[in-house]
Chain A
Amino acid sequence: MADRATESEFTLDTAAELAAAEPESAAIRGRSPWFLAWRRLRRNYIAFAFLALFFLVLIACALAGVYARDVAHTGPNTNHILEIVKVNGHSQSVLSSGGYISKSTGKACQSGQTDCILVSSLPIAPTWFSGGGKFVLGADQNGRDIAVRLLYGGRNSLIVGIGSSAICIFFAVVLALLAGYFRGWADFVITRFFDLFYAFPVVLLGIALGSALAINGFHHWGVNIQSGSLWIPTLVISYVLIPYVGRPLRGQVLSLREKEFVEAAIAQGANPLRIMFADLLPNIASSVLVFFTLIVANNIVLEASLSYLGAGVQPPTASWGTLITDGQQLIVTRPWLALAPGIAIILTVLSLNVFGDGLRDALDPRAKVKVEH
């Protein structure tokens, strides 16, 4: 085994390099690709730090219900418009009075009276735990606790992001294997299917599908998905991104299809399903894994974009995208309403991307796997 000094140096850690580093007297040990990848990955502290950050976000969002029940004492959709909270011993309205207000008394007054000014109702600013756990990040225009919604919104965004990635990867892999293994007509049909989707910009296609399904949901072929369900953005996002994962994987499968081990399997009479899933799939597994981490980040951003445009998660269900939409209406006086979910998205996506890059470097340093659309 290489010593610590050797490990800290840059190396591809190929099996040949490791064998060369073994003492001459020792027997050459077999190194699996996963072992080699782990060796490379464990020295990438930055990737691990960002993975920890991602898990932190994940755990925080998973505990949204606990925070809502035991700290904020409210639900994500509960309105507190006319309520008063004590902040540092002072009473504050969750949503202040608006209209013509007397500067001296704070009560409603008639336009034109002295000291009568026109003001707008504004939600409470962040209490930073000075309000007994209520409205830590302030409230929105419906008097809803932003911290609670941020956590619930994160949970929904992560569910959509991870769920859509899993579905997308599953179909992309199946289609890539079918196209790459059978070639010919199967490849032609699947590739045209990919081309069809490539013809539409992802966000526009997502808006079109998301908006259409948002009205009545999906009720065909025995599948009943109600409008407002998280399944709608999940399926829309997974659907529109299949070609962007499927096409590069198809290329890899086509290349592997020409290798000797595939010819050997065919010669031994292995059936196509066995070859696809027992021989070819393990050889593209590293790319699939890297794609998965990168596409989760991509899908979280896409979900936020669609929700921001009204074609993703539907109100009052919170997601980071809908929170930004809500927050932008008060961007001047209450900027944190939009900034908080924005920062959450940045941290999550950054952590996934950095870890995904580290994983790609570890699994196959020569690979150029990336999600482009």
Chain B
Amino acid sequence: MIRSHRWKWLVTAAAFSAGVALVATACGGGGGGGGTTAASAGGSTTGGTSSGKTFANFNIAMDQGTDYLDPALSYTVEGWGVMWNVYLPLIGYKHVNGPDGATLVPYLAQDMPQVSSDGKTYTLTLRSGLKYSDGTAVKASDFKNAIKRDFIVDSPGVGFFGNIVGADQFGKTKKGDISGITTDDASGKITIQLAAPQGDFENILATEFAAPVPSSAPQKDTSNNPLPSTGPYMIKSYQPNKQIVEVRNPNFDAAALDNNVPSGNPDKVTWDIIGDDNVALQRVISGQDDWMSYHPIPTDRLASVQQKYADQIKVFTPANTYYFFMNTRVAPFDNLKVRQAVNYAVNREALVRIVGGLGQTTENVLPPTYPQYEKHTLYPYNLAKAKQLIKDAGATGAQVTVWNHDRGIDPKFTAYLTDVLNKIGLNAKEKIVNSTVYWTTLGNQATKAQIGFADWFQDYPHPLDWYDVLLNGERITQTHNNNYANYDNKSVNATIDSLKKEPSLTPAVNAKWKALDKTIMEDAPWVPFLNRQETDFFSTNVDLSCYENHVLYEFDYATICHK
């Protein structure tokens, strides 16, 4: 997922890619053991309960990235950030700071799923007595409703569920049932049958796409008339590009969920949608809003804001990687030497300065927030070597078009890259495309994009969300392709498929992921250059001793306190 307005898998691509993945894993044979992933082990309580710190209003200066307020349709960091305390899945992430936030705990389910020994069957039981914010009882079949609804409304998340038996067929016809999901409303039992073992399936159950919705939910976008909630807050109103208001869900009981979800400190949360970073900053400084949501502090205001409000700024590194892809199917990047040359020629420190210094250089695919991360430095900056490699490859003077979109500071990365490519002997020019069509243009094979900018923010904290989605050659599609480099190394594909079946992220499994990162970068399909840091800025009304920044959803507005 990316900061706003990028969908990873649109429905057609999703159906196709899921099918390919399914075949691949099925052909791979074998089966992992039972049990849960390391990241999902146990844990019942979090530090996020309200403990008498409630207050009336928390006002947020929000950016314009919210796409939908429907759990089936939203696929932006902003949309999920608003909804993660509204629509609860059966299992979800601990509301805590740091890496522990990747731990999965039961939300609406009584316990973590029971996984069969072949890794294909997941069994959960819904907690009893749960109600939606409108008073309707939550039923086990609502989980199936949610998955079916995802397919019916062409949710960008349907690709996540392609491994469920019968899901693909339902996706094609949008009629009948998904045979791989059985539910019993009386006992609350939910059984999910997978076609092949899938190591990240619990993470997928924790996405907003899997949050149960009532059977009466309309089979269309409900952003303007939000669905009843199961979380501590419900969406009271939504005026696109203007305001979102959340209030307490009267039927929410944190104790009934073993306090795995906080009941929330603010009684009301108001998201004022503001287009301009400077305006948002000013609103927070004046106390009109309490937090700048997804708005960075403008580069040239950072020093003065730091000087006056140092205690109200939090800097954090979300799981992200900024990179330049190189299309391995198109000349001159079908030549390894050219790809290596570009990696040698890019001085990553320069790119960090472009973002104001708020970032860390990287040569890895995976960001450093992951336990599977192991820093490697295969390509120290060496312009002379890069020039020589271009000569050796016979690519001097090759025409290269560098792609990027026009949003924010990102075009400056390719301005730098274009200059670098020209310095090493290529003949490069930029092509800047409107951000609304950029990703679909890149993802279309007909575009034959040679090289360009991309970034990735995780959908869920699991290495599969990186290697499988972005670099598994078996998942390359004609349209809506996420593997912009068209990287297709059979050995790497086999390793990903094999690791996909691993039920737990044990140290041995993690070591394999670490080795895979290096193997991929030896083929140099990307130039990873930056793990970007971000800032949270709060008004002086906010008590940051309560501040929690979640590994996936970032700032947790439910647990914040006022002074």
Contact = CB atoms under 8 A, between A and B. Distances in A.
A228 B315 contact: no
Contacts of B303: 118-120, 333
18 contacts: A77-B415, A77-B419, A81-B350, A82-B350, A98-B355, A99-B358, A111-B315, A118-B302, A120-B300, A121-B299, A121-B354, A122-B299, A141-B299, A141-B354, A142-B354, A142-B412, A211-B434, A228-B431
Contacts of B56: none
Interface of B: 298-304, 306-307, 310, 313, 315, 347, 349-350, 352-359, 406, 409, 411-412, 415-416, 418-420, 429-434, 437, 441, 533
Contacts of B411: 315
The listed residue with most B CB atoms (<10 A of its CB), out of A111, A118, A334, is A118
A359 to B, nearest CB: 38
A314 B430 contact: yes
B341 to A, nearest CB: 18
B432 A315 contact: yes
B73 to A, nearest CB: 26
B358 A310 contact: no
A98 B352 CA distance: 8
B357 A121 contact: yes
Contacts of A241: none
A96 to B, nearest CB: 8
B531 to A, nearest CB: 12
Contacts of B358: 98-99, 120
A54 B240 CA distance: 47
Which 10 interchain pairs have the tightest Cβ spacing?
Answer: A98-B357, A99-B357, A333-B300, A120-B356, A81-B350, A120-B302, A121-B353, A330-B300, A332-B300, A118-B306
A330 B299 contact: yes
A277 B356 CA distance: 60
Q: In terms of DSSP, what is the predominant structure of the interface of chain A? A: loop
B353 A82 contact: yes
Contacts of A315: 411, 415, 430, 432
A95 B303 CA distance: 15
A77 B347 CA distance: 17
A117 interface: yes
Interface of A: 77-79, 81-82, 95-101, 111, 117-122, 141-144, 211, 214-215, 227-228, 310, 314-316, 329-334
A331 B434 contact: no
B504 to A, nearest CB: 33
A234 to B, nearest CB: 18
A97 B419 contact: no
Given A111-B315, A310-B406, A215 B433 contact: yes
Contact of B429 (A96, A100, A119, A228): A228
Contacts of A314: 430-432
A316 B415 contact: yes
Contacts of A98: 352-353, 355-358
Nearest to A111: B315
A81 B354 contact: yes
Contacts of A81: 347, 350, 353-354, 416
A318 to B, nearest CB: 11
B17 to A, nearest CB: 26
Q: In terms of DSSP, what is the predominant structure of the interface of chain B? A: helix
A109 B419 CA distance: 31
A297 to B, nearest CB: 27
Contacts of A96: 353
A228 B428 CA distance: 12
Contacts of A329: 298-300, 409
Contacts of B441: 215
Contact of B416 (A79, A111, A119): A79
Nearest to B351: A81
B348 to A, nearest CB: 11
Given A119-B306, A214-B433, A215-B437, A97 B409 contact: no
A116 to B, nearest CB: 10
A314 B409 CA distance: 15
Given A82-B353, A215-B434, 9 more contacts: A95-B350, A97-B357, A99-B358, A99-B533, A122-B299, A141-B409, A214-B432, A316-B418, A316-B430
A142 B430 contact: no
B4 to A, nearest CB: 17
Contacts of B349: 82
A20 B409 CA distance: 69
Contacts of A97: 353, 357
A316 to B, nearest CB: 5
Contacts of B356: 98-99, 120-121
A309 to B, nearest CB: 10
B295 to A, nearest CB: 13
A222 B357 CA distance: 48
Given A98-B358, A141-B354, A142-B416, A332 B298 contact: yes
A76 B71 CA distance: 47
Given A120-B358, A215-B433, A310-B432, A141 B350 contact: no
A227 B449 CA distance: 14
Contacts of A215: 431, 433-434, 437, 441
Contacts of A121: 299, 353-357
Contacts of B315: 100, 111, 118
The listed residue with most B CB atoms (<10 A of its CB), out of A97, A99, A120, A314, is A120
A111 B317 CA distance: 13
A330 B358 CA distance: 16
Given A77-B419, A79-B416, A82-B353, A331 B430 contact: no
A99 B437 CA distance: 32
Contacts of B418: 77, 316
A31 B409 CA distance: 61
A139 to B, nearest CB: 11
A233 to B, nearest CB: 13
Contacts of A100: 315
A369 B310 CA distance: 58
Nearest to A108: B357
A97 B359 CA distance: 11
The listed residue with most A CB atoms (<10 A of its CB), out of B349, B350, B357, B432, is B357
A329 B353 CA distance: 15
Contacts of B430: 228, 314-316
B158 to A, nearest CB: 28
Given A118-B310, A119-B357, A141 B429 contact: no
Nearest to A117: B306
Contacts of A142: 354, 412, 415-416, 419
